[in-house]
Amino acid sequence: MVATIIDGKAFAATVRGKVAGHVARLKADHGIIPGLAVVLVGEDPASQVYVRSKGKMTVEVGMNSYEHKLEADTSEADLLALIDQLNTDPEVHGILVQLPLPGHLNEALVINAIDPAKDVDGFHISNVGLLATGQKAMVPCTPLGCLMMLRDHLGSLSGLNAVVIGRSNIVGKPMAQLLLGDSCTVTIAHSRTKDILAVSRRADIVVAAVGRPQMVTGDWIKPGATVIDVGINRIDAPEKGEGKTRLVGDCDFDSCAEVAGAITPVPGGVGPMTIACLLANTVTACSRAHGLAEPEGLTA
């Protein structure tokens, strides 16, 4: 293996440490405690795990965590009423509605009901527009985490060729906007891209956000390129015993690591950065709400 492994777990701990430092200063200098409200509708087991872990880390960095657990059959009107209440609550600086929502609820309507200034997931249409036009936005957590890792590893990204594989609204598109904001030459590849291997091989930076286990192999990678693997896929792992599974990314780690200059592993790469960036966004939202200086190194 030639690639440096970008340790997302360690870097996320550093980011959380910076968040905790800023939270401590907000408390000491201004008597302000940032608050994050998480809304969970229904009992999806994976969502419950995420919400629990978000709540725990929110408290660990010194912020207030408010969890709102609603029944799976909650009406849209009741959910919107709760969001309204959180929008006007001065103790709440960030609001996150855990997705996916049960089928009877209109996700776009619900997300766009959140005050954009408190939209720490960065999915509100206003934040999408602000990011696209290079203005101060709340930025989606996963791409923000990828950007932070790239800046930390490469320093300036200016002039580099970046290929983002995947064009979803939550990862691919905002990732491309962020890389463009850092003056990369950006290509977005997707399921209809012709000769995707050749497109990927031109890149100094490859961000894979596809949802297909180990699709990107070493021959897709230009020697020395930096590879950010956003994918989280569970596959069978008979080597661990019958019925066992393991997590893999969208990149085939072993073959990519033979060629790349640096690569994020799965697990332990982008995943831990996502919650760290949620906390970063909450402290940023709180600072902005009070007209105070934003935390350094925690924004796009």
- Contact positions toward ligand NDP, by CB under 6 A? 142, 165-168, 170-172, 189-192, 196, 209-212, 230-233, 250, 270-271, 274
Output the six-digit token pair for 245. 């599974």
Q: Which is nearer to ligand NDP, 149 or 210 (CB)?
A: 210
Question: SS3 for 165?
Answer: strand
Euclidean distance between CA atoms 157 and 113, whole angstroms: 35
CB crowding 178-216: b at 16 or more within 10 Å, else e: bbebbebebbbbeeebeebeebbbebbbbbbbbeebbbb
> Nearer to ligand NDP by C-beta: 114 or 209?
209
Complex with ligand NDP: residue 251 or 285, whichever CB lies closer: 251
Q: Is 54 noted as a catalytic residue in this protein?
A: yes
Nearest approach, Cβ of residue 219 and ligand NDP (Å):
15
How many whole angstroms from its chain centre is CA 241? 32
User: C-beta of 230: minimal distance to ligand NDP in Å?
Assistant: 4
Say whether 75 counts as a known binding-site residue: no
Residue 240 CB, shortest distance to ligand NDP, in Å, is 21
Tokens describing residue 276 = 């760290």
Q: Least distance from C-beta 182 to ligand NDP, angstroms?
A: 20
Cβ closest to ligand NDP, residue 16 vs residue 287: 16
User: What is the closest distance, in whole angstroms, from the C-beta atom of residue 196 to ligand NDP in the complex?
Assistant: 6
DSSP 99-152: SSPPTTS-HHHHHTTS-GGGBTT--SHHHHHHHHTTS-----HHHHHHHHHHHH
**167 among the known binding-site residues?**
yes
Among this protein's residues, is 204 annotated catalytic? Answer: no
Q: How is 233-264 classified by DSSP, letter by letter? A: EEEE-GGG-TT-EEEE-SB-HHHHHTT-SEE-
Distance CA 226, CA 292 (A): 35
Cβ distance 211 to 249 under 8 Å? Answer: no
Chain residue whose CB lies nearest ligand NDP: 168
* 47 assigned to a ligand binding site: no
Give kind and range of the element (H or E) at residue 284: helix 270-289
The one catalytic residue in 18, 118, 121, 222 is 121
Q: Is 228 annotated as a binding residue?
A: no
Catalytic residue (choose from 18, 54, 173, 222): 54
Rank residues 64 and 255 by Cβ distance to ligand NDP and give the closer one: 255
Residue 45: how many CB atoms within 10 A of its CB? Answer: 7
Please count the other Cβ atoms lying within 10 Å of the Cβ belonging to residue 175.
30
Least CB distance from residue 244 to ligand NDP, whole Å?
20
The residue (of 114 and 270) whose beta carbon lies closer to ligand NDP is 270
State residue 222 phi and psi, 5-degree precision: -75, 135
- Where in the sequence numbering do the catalytic residues fall? 54, 98, 121
Residue ranges for the binding site for NADP(+)?
166-168, 232
Residue ranges for the binding site?
166-168, 232
